[in-house]
Structure 1
Amino acid sequence: MSAGLLGLLDDVAAIAKAAAASLDDVTAAAGKATAKAAGVVIDDTAVTPQFVTGVTPDRELPIVKRIALGSIRNKLLIILPVALLLSWVAPWALAPILMLGGLYLSYEGAEKIWERVRGHEAAHEPGAVDSSAPVTVQGASAERTLISGAVRTDLILSAEIMVISLNEVAHETFWDRLIILVVVALVITVGVYGVVGLIVKMDDIGLALSRRRGRGVQAFGRALVVGMPRILGVIAAVGTVAMLWVGGHILLNGAHELGWTAPFDAIRHVEHAIADGVAGVGGALGWLFETLCSAVVGLAVGAVVLAIVHALPFGRTHAAPAAGHEGGHDGGHDEGGAAA
């Protein structure tokens, strides 16, 4: 009996050891996949705060939470099953689908730039409202519009993240791939929207610090309160550039995978030349060159799509900012319209 029990304990210990090793492998693979998608994760973090610009302070975190839940649904209920199925039955379809997402991001980035240009032009017209000025998003309908737009944009970025991660673990078994991708989805979503929540509440944190004792703490708090609107403006600009960069990058990579390799190869050749030819900072400069080229491609393609959309009978039209609105607000057009 004792020998049988010892044998059973040995078997249990062996199973536990194998399970621990498997867990270590899954954790390591999840970490590698997350790191590989870090570029898109940074873009996601930069893009999202602009959707909360103009929201009243008491609604900022609830809206970020709802966008985060939408992001989880995007990753686990839409992207993950579709990606796993396509990687099994039609792996060739992943690149065209991602390219459609790249077109959408490029279009969104180009539209934001166009609306900002039109807003600045309109600001010089008599009686026009400067659409670049902050507006307040109020009401359940406006919040739903804002959140749905943010979740749609997140769908594209999340698809890129999950497909990159899937490619990194393609050699794993089905169940290991599934577990790794679920871990990646949860870790990235918590990380991104945790940072976003911190960013949008920094002014409130600064206000609380400004009321505490200590001149240094008060000065730091006041600096946060004064500086956060400018920082959020910079983040919004970075988010627009990030849309163009990621959109262009997806299009270049997709074209390369589908057989049109010249643009991708030319950019990569110059990137490597810069990285190898400049001591110390060559890698960073090469990355900046590739990023700039991707953003230019995204802007060019997005501008074409924007022109086509606005030329169509059912394309979006942009009425004069003051039309149909009172009180100096444009009814949340910047947030709701740009997010749609």
Structure 2
Amino acid sequence: MATGFFALLDDIAMLMDDVSAASKVAAKNTAGVLGDDLAVNASKASTFSSSRELPVIWAITKGSLVNKVIIVPLMLLLSYYFPEAITPILILGGLFLSYEGAHGIWGYLFPHEKNENQEPMSEKAKIKSAIITDFILSIEIVLISLASVKELDTTTQIAVVSLIAVAATVGVYGFVALLVRLDDMGFAIANDCKVGSLRHRFGMFLVRSLPYIIKILSVVGVFAMLLVAGGIFVHNIHQLHEIVALNHIPTLMGELIIALLIGALVMLIIDGPKAVLAYFKKS
């Protein structure tokens, strides 16, 4: 019995070694999408009032964990029993992200006039939008992780993909929570020392830098969505991949251009009829 017990421990140790090694590879392959995920969610979280930032981030984090609970087993099952469905799912997600990105750029270039009769987007609606975006990015993260360990046994695949999925949520939203409270951290540092000291200046630097960091992240978040979408299109639609390769377009630029064009087309289909109706109502 003792021999069997130690043999079991040895098997578990070997499995943990395999999971650890495979997780490092999967984490490296998903680093780009995780960076995009961080930029997108930081820009979305920054739109809430200071008193609501942490409760909202916690709500989005719970939604993200629910997303992972749904996505991980679903993608594992699809990869075994219906792998043909993976690409269409990715492309649908890419359409959503490209639309969101194109819509964001349109908003920067042509800001809407404030309509006093139009109610601002509610907190609940913003949280829902953030969770939907997280869902799309989570699919990409899970599929990249799965592709990194497809040659390994089923148990290791499940362990690695689950570990990366949970680490993505905890890491991204933990960092976002720290980021949006950077001003509070700065005030705490500055108020705990003599005015004019190096520590005081550092604290005030953190306070003053937060608005600029948020503005930068809001722009990065828009382009991050477009780059993720463009990557999905180029890697999964052979004709688009050939266009980028044959014209010797740098990969990132090609993905960005394709995502912008497709996003603009989706935006025209979705928002075009609304704009026409609004024009005729005014006239």
Answer yes or no: same fold by TM over 0.5: yes
Tell whether 2:140 aligns with 1:182: no
Partner of 2:48: 55
2:213 is aligned, of 220, 228, 231, to 231
Contact kept? 1:109, 1:302, Cα under 8 Å: yes
Could you tell me which runs of 5 or more consecutive residues in structure 1 were left unpaired when the two chains were aligned: 1-7, 123-127, 130-136, 272-288, 319-340
Moved over 6 A (4+): 314-318
After TM superposition, give the deviation of residue 315 of structure 1 in Å: 9.5
Partner of 2:29: 36
CA RMSD of superposed structures (Å): 2.3
Distance in 2 (alpha carbons) for counterparts of 1:263 and 1:85: 33
Q: Report sequence identity in percent.
A: 35
Tell whether 2:266 aligns with 1:305: yes
TM-score (norm 1): 0.75
Larger Rg computed on CA atoms: 1
Distance in 2 (alpha carbons) for counterparts of 1:54 and 1:164: 30
Deviation string for 1:200-259 (max 9, x for gaps)?
A: 111111111121214111111111111110110001000001011111111111103xx7
Taking the TM superposition and a 5 Å limit, the aligned residue runs for 1:14-33 are 14-33=7-26
Deviation string for 1:57-82 (max 9, x for gaps)?
A: 221111111111111111122x1122
After TM superposition, give the deviation of residue 314 of structure 1 in Å: 9.9
Cα–Cα, structure 1 residues 311 and 90, in superposed 2: closer, same or farther, change >3 Å?
same
Contact kept? 2:244, 2:254, Cα under 8 Å: no
Cα–Cα, structure 1 residues 246 and 315, in superposed 2: closer, same or farther, change >3 Å?
farther
Taking the TM superposition and a 5 Å limit, the aligned residue runs for 1:134-283 are 142-214=122-194, 215-256=197-238, 261-266=241-246, 270=248
Deviation string for 1:175-201 (max 9, x for gaps)?
A: 322222111111111111111111111
After TM superposition, give the deviation of residue 291 of structure 1 in Å: 1.8
Deviation string for 1:73-97 (max 9, x for gaps)?
A: 11122x1122112111221221111
Residue 71 of structure 1 aligns with an amino acid whose one-letter code is: S
TM-score (norm 2): 0.89
Tell whether 2:71 aligns with 1:84: no
Give 1 or 2: higher helix fraction.
2
Distance in 2 (alpha carbons) for counterparts of 1:304 and 1:237: 21
Contact kept? 1:101, 1:247, Cα under 8 Å: yes
**Alignment coverage as a number of residue pairs:** 273
Partner of 1:293: 254
Partner of 1:280: none
Distance in 1 (alpha carbons) for counterparts of 2:50 and 2:225: 26
Contact kept? 1:112, 1:240, Cα under 8 Å: yes
